[in-house]
Amino acid sequence: MLVTVDGIEAICPKLNCGYTYNAPKAKITSQKLTGNVIEVEGTDLPVTDDVEVSISGTACSINIKTATKVTCTLASTPTAGDWHVEVRDSEGRANPGSVAKISIPLIVNSVSPKSNINYYGGTVLTIKGTGFPLQTWKAKVKLDDGTGCKVLTSTSTEITCKL
């Protein structure tokens, strides 16, 4: 049986398994995103070699890690939405408490083609911008008139879909 506690998975060999929950010591007191750099401040933040930082599932390369501050650089734009930064190590995840979430906007810069769209379908649209989900199955595209567009590919900056 697979169980998940505080976002961490564990396998139980039998149906009757137990665990001891230890509340996280690490607490996030502030978090911000400036460009592609995340800055987290807190108390008892992990400084071990296995520290991982992410936002919306997007990994971040650590620049600085101390017990009171972690900074890191994102390789790609996170998925749009309101998110807490996740700081974790083998001991668990830092508690974000009541810290305000970071809002990542969904921005569409262009859609092509803009003309010669087949009325009966089959036209592939390319949508460029930022904040798109990295997983194709999470992306949904619908036109103003309610017409659906089947997503073919999705990166943080481009979606292709077929009308």
- Of 21-30, 37-46, 85-94, the least confident: 21-30
**pLDDT at residue 19, rounded to an integer:** 67
How many other β-carbons are positioned within 10 Å of the β-carbon of residue 4? Answer: 8
| Digit-coded pLDDT (tens) for 108-136 | 999 999 999 998 899 999 999 999 998 88
70-84 pLDDT, tens digit per residue, is 999 998 889 999 999
pLDDT digits (tens, 9 = 90+) for 31-70: 999 999 999 999 999 888 899 999 998 999 999 999 999 9
Rounded to the nearest integer, the mean pLDDT of the chain is 89
Biggest CA pair distance of the chain: 62
* pTM of the complete model: 0.76
* Residue in the structure block whose two tokens are 């750099």: 37
Q: How far is CA 69 from CA 35, 46, 91, 125, in A?
A: 18, 9, 18, 43
Angle at 64 between CA 62 and CA 65, to 5 degrees: 90
Question: Quick one: pLDDT at residue 25?
Answer: 84
Q: Do 88 and 51 meet the contact criterion of CB atoms below 8 Å apart?
A: yes
> Which of residues 17 and 44 earns the better pLDDT score?
44
Q: Is the pLDDT of residue 91 over 90?
A: no
At 90 the pLDDT is: 83
Domains of the chain: 24-104 (2.60.40.10), 107-162 (no CATH)
For 68-84, the DSSP string reads: SEEEEEESSPPPSEEEP
